Amino acid sequence: MNNKNKIKLIASGITLCFCAAAVGAVSVVSSRNGGGAAPAALMQDNELPVIILDAGHGGFDGGCVSAEGVPEKGINLSILLRLRDMLELSGYDVEVTRDSDISIHDSGVEGLSNQKSSDMDNRLALFNKYDNAVCVSIHQNQFTDPVYSGAQMFYSNSDSRSEQLARSLQSSFTELLQPDNKREIKLCGKELFLCYYSDNPTVMAECGFLSNPAEASLLNTEEYQEKVALTLFYGINRFVNGK
């Protein structure tokens, strides 16, 4: 077996073991989904929240771009799809703003500015669709100085639980993926439209810096995208279970 296949096999094993540990440690038999396993310590009203996932950008909007010309939109989507599968396997109901490389603006809207505005309005409508939801928008960061790296969480002020969600996700990156990450969570401003105006616990997860060559190289691999998805899964699951 060559090294590449060994890495894939190890990554797959880690995925299965980690998912089983994260869910199994806090799972019970639930009447939802035909009596399958679901996290035990629930949120308000003894009900699992709906998890809303957003892959930032898409379609004509590529987001920030690495030095090698890789736009973040595809990386965001790849992480989202993996995270969605983990959450659904664990018994959560999951909705996503997009599951392909598209803008979700209303049909008939013309002009890039109007299309972007419509796209963001539709994403926000999904974030606010449910009274009991947890929302995570997946992005990649960029800065003029390539030295900066590491994930950082921005949280909404509209729901007091957003800060708790951000801390859970940030600490998960430090514990599981980026042990040298010293970044602190930050309250989002109006410039982060989706995060700022969401009514539910909401975090914009900047998973890394595409302006950092080493981190950009990692983020462009399936193995690392899987690890990022696992890290987000662990943080979400821990938040839901009040850990």
Question: Among residues of the chain, what percentage have pLDDT more than 70?
Answer: 81
**Do residues 11 and 17 make contact, with C-beta atoms less than 8 angstroms apart?**
no
User: In terms of Cα–Cα distance, which of 131, 132, 136 is closest to 203?
Assistant: 136
User: In terms of Cα–Cα distance, which of 101, 97, 88, 95 is closest to 23?
Assistant: 88
User: In terms of Cα–Cα distance, which of 184, 190, 133 is closest to 162?
Assistant: 133
**Rounded to the nearest 5°, which phi and psi values hold at 203?**
-135, 135
Both structure tokens of 14:
């880690």
With 80 as the cut, is the pLDDT of residue 108 above it? yes
* pTM (whole model) above 0.85: no
**Do residues 112 and 105 make contact, with C-beta atoms less than 8 angstroms apart?**
no
Both structure tokens of 141:
């960061």
The alpha carbon of 116 is separated from its chain's Cα centroid by a whole number of angstroms, namely 21
Side chain identity, residue 214: A
Beta strands in the chain (DSSP E): 27-29, 37-39, 50-55, 94-96, 133-141, 152-155, 186-187, 202-209
Mean pLDDT (whole number) for 212-219: 96
Tell me the per-residue pLDDT of 179-212, one tens digit each, with 9 for 90 and over.
999 999 999 999 999 999 999 999 999 999 999 9
On average, the pLDDT of the chain sits at 85
**Do residues 11 and 223 make contact, with C-beta atoms less than 8 angstroms apart?**
yes
With 80 as the cut, is the pLDDT of residue 31 above it? no
Both structure tokens of 165:
């969600």
Helix (H, G, I), strand (E, B) or coil at 135: strand
Let me know the angle formed at the C-alpha of 238 by 194 and 208, rounded to the nearest 5 degrees.
50
- Give the length of the chain: 243
Tell me the per-residue pLDDT of 32-75, one tens digit each, with 9 for 90 and over.
334 344 443 445 555 899 999 999 999 999 999 998 899 999 99
Mean pLDDT (whole number) for 75-95: 97
The full set of domain ranges for the chain reads 3-240
- According to the model, what pLDDT value does residue 47 have? 83
Assign a CATH topology to domain 3-240: Aminopeptidase (3.40.630)
**Do residues 22 and 233 make contact, with C-beta atoms less than 8 angstroms apart?**
yes
Tell me the per-residue pLDDT of 128-152, one tens digit each, with 9 for 90 and over.
999 999 999 999 999 999 999 999 9
